Structure 1
């Protein structure tokens, strides 16, 4: 079969077939009397083998090695191709994300595009100081687009930069909440933690509702962040989680302060005291828990905890009894003062 017919049937151009020949990759086994290339059935099968391997991303050099070495093991090469392809897809996804950010910012001209690109470079800088500077002092006073801010919040691991990003996002208004709430659905727990911290700094009923949903998150850190934020908003749904934090000793001081703020509502105060008293009874053999619970009573407003403290003055644990006595004395001094 002559080269022109092979090209028509295989879909491989005559130029590429000649290139294969020059490389020794697919050499026609015959020649016509006029010196034209004549391909056998085996040659054509080899062409299709080459094209199949090219479709996987192999270079012509790799293909030649694979076809000429019977002992060649494809697993290592295919694994390397997978890694290269994943890296390329990652880079292309990053490019797509950048293009979407530029498009969403609706620049009026190329100068606007260049400013957004500069913001992207700053936020993607390996230097934490530069990323923070980009947020706090954007170039030429151009505000960082909300979608870009939200994406940076969910990706940032440096605590100082993350704080600056959350601050900027909370003040951006608009769709800031909607942009960052998507992070609460991520399978990556770090992203959910960053998202809940950002939402905690946002005001409004919608943010409170998202935080309330976060109390059901599978990650205890996400639940704790949500509970602390809800406590400052007067949301009583946070009470069980806050009491649990006191018991566990995780951010127990902050949790006790939040419970004290919630207890300013008389109806909620009774509920909180009921749960704290229940935990005292459930942890009779754990002095560390009882001490934290006793200290939490100091945050209860007015005389809310006075009756419970009076009972704890006679507690079998001397430390608990001493703390209760000191708290009662301090309460009496405030009343007399």
Structure 2
């Protein structure tokens, strides 16, 4: 009997040990899961913290770049398609400093320095290693407030629209902004909502007759609310130049940006523009400033539409921000 009980006790002991092993394995599994969660959560928190630091640094860089650009545009001479800025980007230190080109040529670190091409035709250039800037003279774009019928028609024809449809869009744009309710021969005053005042947002042209989203997306960047009554071909996008002539002539005009011709008639004849279109080789004082600041995986973009009055006095501000978007 004693021997039998001992066998029962032995079996019970083995069963107890088996249960204990299972419990230990379950406990280890739970603890491992918790440890993995904590480890993953920690990595996520570190990533978020680093992202926050990078975003803050990118914002600081963008803010600094904005102030530098505004200062350069206010204090330097504007030419046909560029600003005579002497701001130098040193690639060895990733910093910008004001030094002249002569000083640059005699500096021991001249191989690391380059004069920033402060152009006004939206060609990107580096302000620092992490900040890229674009400047677009609004006189180089097609004005929505002063729409030139021939230029507007040709630009819309480049989107694939027929001459009749392109002309109708241009006429509808004029009808949209005039103060009367009398439609032009190819225009439109029949829409339920007609502003009969100046366009306030470029997206309004989506409401014009024969306009589609696809067509709008093709021309949006070529039109502006802040243009002039003339066009500066030396700062026009290549798409505008192509629309007004052809690809080969547009490429020639782009090359001439480095040494603009002194006579407007030469470019007018090259472009085949009608005599009623005013062409001047001078920017107006409204510039679109686009700043892209990158720090590791963070990229911040800011866009400012700025009107400059560098010779203002009294209560008149030297510059006015007309539009602002981005971070």
Report if TM-score (shorter chain) is over 0.5.
Answer: no
TM-score, reference length from structure 2: 0.22
TM-score, reference length from structure 1: 0.22
Query: Whose relative contact order is higher, 1 or 2, with alpha carbons under 8 Å and at least 6 apart?
Result: 2
**Rg bigger for which structure?**
1
More helix by share: 1
